[in-house]
């Protein structure tokens, strides 16, 4: 099995994980079959779709509809088996697969944007992050839930670090794209997995919440 095939298969695993975690994020609030499939599909392909619209290229799922079929099937299965999937150990496995998808999609997107030489160096980083978290943002907005931008979950920051490192390293060492891509994917996966494993959050001094508490304490 060559690198491209492996990447493709991992991309499908990521698509499944995104769709499943997307559905499981909304099932506790009561949703019907149609809503579950739409939100699972949007979580899986939403980020990449917005990226392609901004890049001005055809959407990635038009040429390869497997992404749609896999995302829809995974959403359907997640809807039907959500009692099983929300068991603690199963759900944790899904979170790690979701982290794998995050790492794959972010670096693949940054790679795509570097290749077509679009708005270097900032755009590849932005598009990497957008591809990884855009679908989840869309889902939360459509489901009326707080988006991850307003939560202290350590989710987008690992992705951003990985994408920044990828673009900087590729500009300095353009001869090793595969190696750098692999290393940065592993970095994102490791950081996000650590956050899941040790239940890490964004430290309070990096949020404005902490400042408010400080000033409240000061005024008391």
Which residue in the set 8, 13, 25, 35 belongs to the binding site for a second copy (CB under 8 A)? 35
Nearer to a second copy, 29 or 179 (CB): 29
3-state SS, residue 153: strand
The distance of closest approach from Cβ of residue 190 to a second copy in the complex, given in angstroms and rounded to an integer, is 18
d(C-alpha 115, C-alpha 78), whole Å: 35
Q: Is 171 in the site for a second copy (CB under 8 A)?
A: no
33 near a second copy, judged by CB under 8 A: yes
Taking the CA of residue 176 as centre, how many other CA atoms within 13 Å lie in the half-sphere pointing to its CB? Answer: 10
Distance CA 13, CA 19 (A): 10
Decide: residue 112, CB within 10 A, 0-12 exposed, 13-18 middle, 19+ buried: buried
Q: Of 67, 66, 76, 59, which is closest to residue 22 (Cα–Cα)?
A: 76
190 binds a second copy (CB under 8 A): no
Report the DSSP beta bridge partners of residue 201.
153
- Smallest gap from Cβ 220 to a second copy, in A, equals 17
Nearest to 127 by CA among 167, 78, 95: 167
- Interface size with a second copy, residues (CB under 8 A): 55
Q: Under a CB-based contact definition with an 8 Å cutoff, are residues 134 and 51 in contact? A: yes
Contact 201, 154 (CB under 8 A): yes
Under the binding rule (CB under 8 A), the answer on residue 29 touching a second copy is yes
Give the range of 2-10, 53-61, 96-104, 191-199 binding a second copy by CB under 8 A. 53-61
* Binding of a second copy by 12 (CB under 8 A): no
Binding mask 109-148 for a second copy (x = CB under 8 A): ---------xx--xx--x----------x---xxxx-xx-
Determine the 3-state secondary structure of 201 from DSSP: strand
Residues that bind a second copy in the complex, under the rule CB under 8 A: 26-36, 38-39, 41, 49, 53-54, 56, 58-59, 61-62, 65, 68-69, 72, 79, 82-83, 118-119, 122-123, 126, 137, 141-144, 146-147, 149-150, 152, 156-157, 160, 202, 206-209, 211-212, 215
């Amino acid at each position: 099995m060559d690198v491209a095939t492996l990447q493709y298969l991992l991309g499908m695993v990521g698509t499944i994980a995104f769709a499943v975690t997307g559905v499981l994020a909304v099932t506790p609030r009561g949703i019907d079959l149609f809503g579950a499939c739409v939100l699972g599909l949007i979580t899986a392909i939403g980020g990449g779709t917005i990226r392609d619209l901004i890049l001005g290229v055809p959407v990635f799922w038009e040429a390869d509809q497997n992404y749609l079929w896999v995302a829809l099937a995974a959403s359907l299965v997640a809807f039907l088996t959500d009692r099983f999937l929300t068991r603690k150990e199963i759900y944790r496995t899904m979170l790690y697969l979701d982290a794998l998808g995050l790492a794959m999609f972010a670096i693949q997107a940054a790679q795509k944007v570097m290749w077509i030489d679009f708005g270097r160096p900032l755009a590849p980083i932005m598009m990497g992050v957008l591809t990884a978290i855009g679908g989840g943002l869309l889902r939360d907005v459509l489901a009326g839930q707080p988006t991850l931008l307003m939560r202290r979950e350590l989710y987008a920051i690992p992705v951003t670090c990985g994408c920044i490192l990828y673009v900087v390293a590729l500009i300095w060492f353009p001869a090793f794209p595969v190696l750098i891509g692999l290393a940065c994917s592993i970095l994102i996966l490791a950081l996000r997995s650590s956050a899941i494993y040790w239940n890490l959050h964004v430290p309070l001094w990096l949020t404005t919440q902490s400042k408010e508490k400080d000033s409240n304490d000061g005024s008391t």
